[in-house]
Structure 1
Amino acid sequence: MESQTGFRAQPGFREEERPVVVRACDMCRKKKIRCEPTTQGCRPCTKYGTKCHFTPIAMKRKPRRPAGFKYIAQLEQRLLGVEALLGDRSLEKPTVPEISSRKERTTPVALLDTAALIKSSNGSNPWMPESMWPHYAPDLRSVSLPARQRLPTKTVALELIQETFNNYNRFLPLFDEEDFLREFQLKYSTSNPGDAGWWACLNVVLSIAHRLRAIRALDPTQEHILASGYVQNALSVVSELNVSDRSLSAVQALAGMACILQGTPDPEPAAMLVAAALRLAQAMNLHRECSSPGLTDSQAEKRRRVFWKVYILDKDISLRTGRPFGQDDDDMDVRLPSNASLEPGNLDLFNCRIGLALVQGQVYKQLYSVQAGRQTAAQRAIAAQELSSLLSYWKFSAQLELPEDSTISSGLQLSGEMIHKVVLRLTYIHCLTMIDRHLRPMPQSSSNQELSRSEKLSPPGSLCIAESRKAIRLVEAIPQGDCSCVWMLLHAFFAAASSMLYNLTQNPMSPNAISDLDLVEPFLRLLETLARDPSTLSRSEELVRMRRTCNSLNLEAKEAVQLFSLRSPATLT
């Protein structure tokens, strides 16, 4: 049987199912002559009397692939992944009551990032054992599934939630306890990353609880590991919070993560999360008082709390890093929190922190912004004098008095409220030094050149030095298990220590010279403890600059004091 193409069909196959074809017999292929198949064999083999044998040649052809087919396949794979993710979210449609409450849901916030491995540094520190120093390694990769850490049982989770609300949220009310517990009872058994806002808020609260327990634990390693695992759970939905979730819980989640990331060697992740939280809050008009007239008083109060918490983070990170803040005071009209559900003392503490954030914003704007840099030193000095008066008025109204130094140095465990007051006091010290360095011209030294614009030394003003002495004593009051608190307050301790050391280089005849050198020693040991971990040192350029500057100033101060004591020993007796 001969096909229309002139090729011989192989026996056992129908014409339309031909898997292989033969173009020429073996002999004709060898002689490289034209093969003319017939029913008896090919014509040349018949003519020369040779055996005509056909060896099948596979002709299985694949469809021709277009140019760039590999890239197209990758795009199709990514599209399938996005469709699957959107499909999972669409399956979780809330009921009608849930839809109406989702916009104003104030479930607690998503917390922090990181902390993968816990390392302890070698060496000794009289006030901070090195075994208490886990160093977090932030990992901001966005992973939707699976969750990195299993959630605890409902009973254990409820205990952790109460820990967070009793010792953290009551002083900085980012979450609403009633709403959160309601969500917990309804959703905990089915909690999954598909509900991004709730998932992040839940894991943030659990992580904060373990961090609070680490403060009291003799060996906080396990508590830090658990806190890190829940933080990774919260971070797994950061992309969803940024892109597709416009709810109050999403703002809370991003702000909560930024709070924790402030306590890491690298401030960049916290700054990015604060910026994202602030933009989302502005998109929801949280910075406007009358943006949603239909809100109840309770809903409006929850929105105010969340906005002011983000505002505090925005101004604090701005002054700490020397970068512009995101919320202009001229473009907001939201009122201060005033809900009667908060205890009067805790409400006052929250409002005091807001007041300090307002001053911090003005300090950056009038002294460290690009526009301020174009002014003369005299103009900035006038602005610094006005800001100093404003900060003094704030301090007087805030009543920041702490217990006697003997109580702090005795190593007694501080209560949750006192820890927040210590943080507030140190934030005030940092703001004061940032103002004080502009009050008068200051000669540039080799040590000054090591600092960035946001870290330059303050001149030896009497108020600044007196407050720095009080602040540097608080190094020993920081909880031993709370390494994150130390990273967050490192700028304040550096500002106080560098002010005192610089004052000694300029005034070695001060009657407090020897005691001031002793006061800064714990902070210098702290810097050395942090610097012993190479991974931490490589991730924190700020730590490198602080350590180099303080060591240089300390050496200069000791030489100046020693030289003066040799010249007039009677003055130091």
Structure 2
Amino acid sequence: MHPSRKACDLCYRKKIKCDGETPRCSPCVIYKSDCTYKASSRKTPSKKQAAAQRQFREDSLQSRIKTLEDQLSTVLEKVDKLEKQSGSEQNTPNSTPRHASEEDTMVANWASSLPPILELPPLQEVLPIVEHYLATFNTIMPLFHSETLLQKIKDWYENSHVRDTVTWAMINVVLALSPHTGWSNNVAQTGNAAVYLNNAQSVLTDVIMGKIDLINIQVLLGIVILFRTADDLRPALILTSTALRLAHRLGLHNRKASEYLCPVVSLQRNRVFWIAYILDRDISLLSRLAPIQLDGEIDLSLPPSEATDDLTGFVFAADGRTKLNFFRARVELARIQGKVYESIYSPSAQNANSEERTKNVSRTLRMLDEWSSGLPTEFSLASLSQANVPELSRYLCLLYATPVSCRALLCCASAWDSYHYSKWVGRVQDYGEQVVTGQVVSHAPTLPHGWKQLVDESREYLKLFATVIPRDSYFIRMTLCAYNSSTICLMANSIISARNKRTEQSSEFAWTDTIFSDDMAEHSYREIRDAVMRLGFYANNRSQMVPLK
């Protein structure tokens, strides 16, 4: 008899569905583990309870921010009123000193406490964090011009009388981005990222409603990058839309608005706009919503494919000579992401017949093929996995996550679901169960259009993924969709491809099963973990069977 807890120790630890089979459940068979129930039962909250807890935390945070903003607004109004009264009294002859009321004293106390709200760590602590960010993530996603950012930070510390909330928000955003987007062995620094983010959020009203400048848009986009890895993408969607509207006000999408500016400022304006474009296309596709920015309303050149003196945005291959403009490649992929939305989720795609949909999907798949073929050979997935250059592998694994996810969507998704929950994957699971249990199966599920290319690309992507060690939280969340898509694809291929030799199937399954590691599994939704486990179980059994004739 099993204890009252339904899941065995392995399934409970990995947070996967346990079927309770004896003597060993299916996941324990796959992981070659003893099926035990020794660990004490710890009741986990239900989905409804977990959602309620998350909502409570979000509401509480928003309430605190709103309260702080209201208090600041009230205090600033009263301070302004007192300053006007003071000026009036000083300019009035024969005026007599006025005794301070209780309200005046309260306002004075509040006013004297305002500066600490804009406090930052000492400059000697801030600069290494900022320089780390500029040397890592900002090199491939150049949200800030390095010299300009460093100068603004030094001015903040050297000239206390010119400090403003927007600059303070910018510094906090950079301090949060540095540990969030790259490797960080400093646990305290990583933990402070949430504090810095909350600081920036506390002055969002000033950032959005104040005088519009490039820095305001940079702050908003920095916060979007921080929110991009959250489960709830609504804040990122709202702030991306706001940032793009402000970008339009400044004319960032139009080259004429920058033609009389100095080259450095003009270049940075272009880069900030393209980052907003990337985030808009990326987050909109994840949310199955139409992007805000239309291609027809952009009058800007793409980032250069060849470098001159400025190598910002470029990465170098293992040979140290061949280079790729990572930033330009990501902008090109963002444009394709817009086409993926049009092919799958747009109203026209939902109303299209099968022939029209196939035609649109084929056109977008060709765009992905052209994008891949346009990269130098040294940056192909196969070359990168063999080169085994950790930092380069990390950047390119982030880059290739987009085309792999797009290809999986185009092959298997419909307007009403994503790849991981698609009806086609469900049919593969049903087919695998029928084969493993010895039921009579007339034929395997029909392979989607472009399946072979998806299988090949998924296999190469997971090989490259395996070379990235360690895997920080940002990397895991940004590659999670492509990783799960690739894993499911290879397991599904092992189940339905009767033409492969049994040894090849067994080898591929064993490797795929190994790559589905704990760090990725714990970040995946339960439905996806269950899908992978079911497919893995059927693929393992299928690989040990004689191939169908």
What is the TM-score when the length of structure 2 is the normalising length?
0.67
- Corresponding residue for 1:388? 365
Q: Which moved more, 1:522-531 or 1:486-495?
A: 522-531
Alpha-carbon separation, structure 1, partners of 2:325 and 2:482: 23
8 A Cα contact 1:89 1:194, kept in partner: no
From 113, 119, 122, give the equivalent of 1:153: 122
Please state how far the C-alpha of 1:280 moved relative to its aligned partner: 1.8
- Corresponding residue for 1:453? none
Alpha-carbon separation, structure 1, partners of 2:161 and 2:286: 36
Bigger relative CO (Cα 8 Å, ≥ 6 apart): 1
Alpha-carbon separation, structure 1, partners of 2:515 and 2:78: 54
- Corresponding residue for 1:557? 539
- Corresponding residue for 1:239? 205
Q: Which moved more, 1:312-321 or 1:503-512?
A: 503-512
3-state SS of the aligned residue for 1:398?
coil
Alpha-carbon separation, structure 2, partners of 1:513 and 1:385: 29
Alpha-carbon separation, structure 1, partners of 2:266 and 2:119: 35
Q: 1:193 to 1:519 in 2, by over 3 A?
A: farther
- Corresponding residue for 2:171? 202
Q: 1:78 to 1:285 in 2, by over 3 A?
A: closer
Please state how far the C-alpha of 1:248 moved relative to its aligned partner: 0.8
Q: 1:459 to 1:543 in 2, by over 3 A?
A: farther
Alpha-carbon separation, structure 2, partners of 1:305 and 1:376: 39
Q: For 1:531-550, what aligned pairs fall within 5 Å after superposition?
A: 543-550=525-532
Provide structure 2 residue ranges, at least 5 long, that are not aligned to the other structure.
1-67, 83-112, 316-323, 415-421, 431-446
The AA in structure 2 aligned to 1:392 is: D
From 442, 446, 457, give the equivalent of 2:426: 446
8 A Cα contact 1:203 1:233, kept in partner: yes
Q: 1:354 to 1:80 in 2, by over 3 A?
A: closer
Alpha-carbon separation, structure 2, partners of 1:287 and 1:434: 29
- Corresponding residue for 2:488? 498
Alpha-carbon separation, structure 2, partners of 1:429 and 1:163: 29
Alpha-carbon separation, structure 2, partners of 1:150 and 1:80: 18
Alpha-carbon separation, structure 2, partners of 1:267 and 1:147: 32
3-state SS of the aligned residue for 2:500?
coil
Alpha-carbon separation, structure 1, partners of 2:375 and 2:256: 29
Cα displacement string for residues 349-381 of structure 1 (whole angstroms, at most 9, x for unaligned residues): 211111111111111123321111110121111
Alpha-carbon separation, structure 1, partners of 2:120 and 2:72: 26
The AA in structure 2 aligned to 1:384 is: V
Count, aligned residues: 413
Alpha-carbon separation, structure 1, partners of 2:271 and 2:345: 28
Q: Is the aligned partner of 1:176 residue 2:153?
A: no
Whose helix fraction is larger, Structure 1's or Structure 2's? 2
Q: 1:525 to 1:212 in 2, by over 3 A?
A: closer
Q: Is the aligned partner of 1:466 residue 2:456?
A: yes
- Corresponding residue for 2:404? 429
Q: For 1:334-353, what aligned pairs fall within 5 Å after superposition?
A: 334-338=300-304, 340-343=308-311, 345-346=314-315, 348-353=325-330
Q: Which moved more, 1:475-484 or 1:374-383?
A: 475-484
Alpha-carbon separation, structure 1, partners of 2:270 and 2:459: 36
* Larger-gyration structure (1/2): 1
The AA in structure 2 aligned to 1:342 is: D
From 472, 476, 491, give the equivalent of 1:482: 472
8 A Cα contact 1:384 1:438, kept in partner: no
- Corresponding residue for 1:100? none
- Corresponding residue for 2:47? none
- Corresponding residue for 2:86? none
Please state how far the C-alpha of 1:252 moved relative to its aligned partner: 0.8
Alpha-carbon separation, structure 1, partners of 2:81 and 2:174: 26
Q: For 1:71-220, what aligned pairs fall within 5 Å after superposition?
A: 81-85=72-76, 151-189=120-158, 195-211=164-180, 215=183, 217=185, 220=186
Alpha-carbon separation, structure 1, partners of 2:350 and 2:291: 16
| CA RMSD between the two structures | 3.6
Q: Is the aligned partner of 1:369 residue 2:346?
A: yes
Cα displacement string for residues 141-183 of structure 1 (whole angstroms, at most 9, x for unaligned residues): xxx9787896332122222222111112122211011211221
Please state how far the C-alpha of 1:255 moved relative to its aligned partner: 0.9
- Corresponding residue for 1:120? none
8 A Cα contact 2:282 2:334, kept in partner: yes
Alpha-carbon separation, structure 1, partners of 2:350 and 2:331: 26
8 A Cα contact 2:224 2:236, kept in partner: yes
Alpha-carbon separation, structure 2, partners of 1:165 and 1:221: 20
Provide structure 1 residue ranges, at least 5 long, that are not aligned to the other structure.
1-76, 92-143, 451-456, 532-541, 569-573
8 A Cα contact 1:459 1:503, kept in partner: no
Cα displacement string for residues 447-481 of structure 1 (whole angstroms, at most 9, x for unaligned residues): 6899xxxxxx9667211101100112334334435
Alpha-carbon separation, structure 1, partners of 2:475 and 2:399: 12
Alpha-carbon separation, structure 2, partners of 1:145 and 1:162: 29
Alpha-carbon separation, structure 1, partners of 2:240 and 2:346: 19
Cα displacement string for residues 221-241 of structure 1 (whole angstroms, at most 9, x for unaligned residues): 323113332222222222322
